[in-house]
Amino acid sequence: MKKIKKQGSNICFLIIVILLALVPIMYQYELIEASSTVLFIGKCMAFAIVAIGLDLIWGYTGILSLGHGLYFALGGYAMAMYLKLQRTGGGITDFMHIGGLKELPLVWKPFLSLPVSIFLILFVPGILAGVIGYFIFKNRVKGVYFSIISQALTWAAYSIFIALSPYTNGNVGITDIQSVFGSIKGSMNFGNLQILFYSALILLILVYAGAKFLTGRKFGKLLIAIRDGENRTYFSGYQVSRYKTFIYVLSAILAGIAGAIFVNFNGSITPNQMTIAYSITMVIWVAVGGRGTIIGAVIGAFLINMCEYKLSSGGLVEVWQYLIGAIFCITII
């Protein structure tokens, strides 16, 4: 009985994985009517990955980041740039034509290659988070001050992406793209959707297993020690800033991976995924599910997004945001 209780979170995750694995099968047997539901569940898996990353830095380390939408969007844009070039055959896009560009910009050329694109999905969010984390945590900036800085950086990046419209298509973002496995729309392309769905599920399993491994070791206990008594951890001889920078970089990389998965299911990426509001929504997923548990982040991401999916249509379309806000307030209380 004690063993079952100890492994409760893993058993819960196993049940979630089994249910997710059944989703494409249920669609095949017409138990799920619309393929859009399968696409939505796929996006929820991406949200669960970024929620796990947030749980590592907030739930375990006590670092409240209100700017993780930046890393999510960077990973999404990197994948979208590759997918867009596949659509254009390596040529310049329509919005580049409108913006007055005559040839493919230098910043876009690395995304002609899938291996390079995958590397940049990991590298760009990771290196940015590493630079930010190094200077902020070395100077022992924490608490609400770090949260404000993360918001400011996200807003600055959002403004830059809007301003560079010939390269990013401004407010519209990068649209009209297929997944890395090809088109996933329509019954004729359901095979591609299945491959994409199960690939995302495997990535979710690997991320969850990696997070549980880290938090179940001495490293995880050090993160909790930093959260509950940062000064004591300093005085115990640990380089707290290094641990905080490492976990911040790891969470940024996970957000970048999640953004790349999201783009494949969504078929587009816009600066809206980089806004402060979007970043705060990610925090709500972790808060509602239960921070400091890993499984809570997964449950929260699915629960809140499924509530939004159901409530944002029909008779509750005008009040669904208030209902989500009420759920968050009740959780905090």
- pLDDT tens track for 129-148: 999 999 999 888 888 899 99
328 in Cβ contact with 281 (< 8 Å)? no
**DSSP of 213-280:** HHHTSHHHHHHHHHHH-HHHHHHTT--HHHHHHHHHHHHHHHHHHHHHHHHHHHS-B-GGGGSHHHHH
**DSSP of 30-74:** TSS--HHHHHHHHHHHHHHHHHHHHIIIIIIT----S-HHHHHHH
Percent of the chain whose pLDDT exceeds 70: 96
The mean pLDDT value of the chain amounts to 90
240 in Cβ contact with 234 (< 8 Å)? yes
Can you give the pLDDT at residue 29? Answer: 79
Q: How far apart are CA 325 and CA 328, in angstroms?
A: 5
| Nearest of 150, 256, 161, 155 to residue 203 by alpha carbon | 256
Can you give the pLDDT at residue 1? Answer: 57
308: pLDDT strictly greater than 90: no
Can you give the pLDDT at residue 35? Answer: 79
Query: Mean pLDDT, to the nearest integer, of 148-171?
Result: 92
Query: Mean pLDDT, to the nearest integer, of 176-196?
Result: 89
Report residue 7's pLDDT band, with 50, 70 and 90 as the boundaries.
confident
Q: How far apart are CA 108 and CA 93, in angstroms?
A: 11
Residue 30, amino acid: E
For residue 221, what are its two tokens? Answer: 């206990």
Q: How far apart are CA 64 and CA 146, in angstroms?
A: 7
209 in Cβ contact with 224 (< 8 Å)? no
Q: How far apart are CA 230 and CA 211, in angstroms?
A: 21
206 in Cβ contact with 214 (< 8 Å)? no
Domain residues of the chain, as ranges?
A: 2-332
Helix, strand or coil for residue 297? helix
pTM as predicted: 0.93
Helix axes 218-228, 190-215, angle to 10 degrees: 70
Report residue 162's pLDDT band, with 50, 70 and 90 as the boundaries.
very high
Query: Mean pLDDT, to the nearest integer, of 108-125?
Result: 95
Q: What is the DSSP letter of 212?
A: H
78: pLDDT strictly greater than 70: yes
99: pLDDT strictly greater than 90: no
Can you give the pLDDT at residue 55? Answer: 96
Residue 62, amino acid: G
Helix, strand or coil for residue 178? coil
Q: How far apart are CA 166 and CA 140, in angstroms?
A: 39
The residue that leads in pLDDT, 1 or 306, is: 306
Report residue 326's pLDDT band, with 50, 70 and 90 as the boundaries.
confident
For domain 2-332, the CATH class is mainly alpha
Task: Determine whether 3 is exposed, middle or buried from the number of CB atoms within 10 Å of its CB (0-12, 13-18, 19+).
Answer: exposed
2: pLDDT strictly greater than 70: no
| pLDDT tens column, 240-265 | 999 999 999 999 999 999 999 999 99
Can you give the pLDDT at residue 28? Answer: 84
| Nearest of 279, 253, 240 to residue 134 by alpha carbon | 240
Query: Mean pLDDT, to the nearest integer, of 86-114?
Result: 90
Report residue 27's pLDDT band, with 50, 70 and 90 as the boundaries.
confident
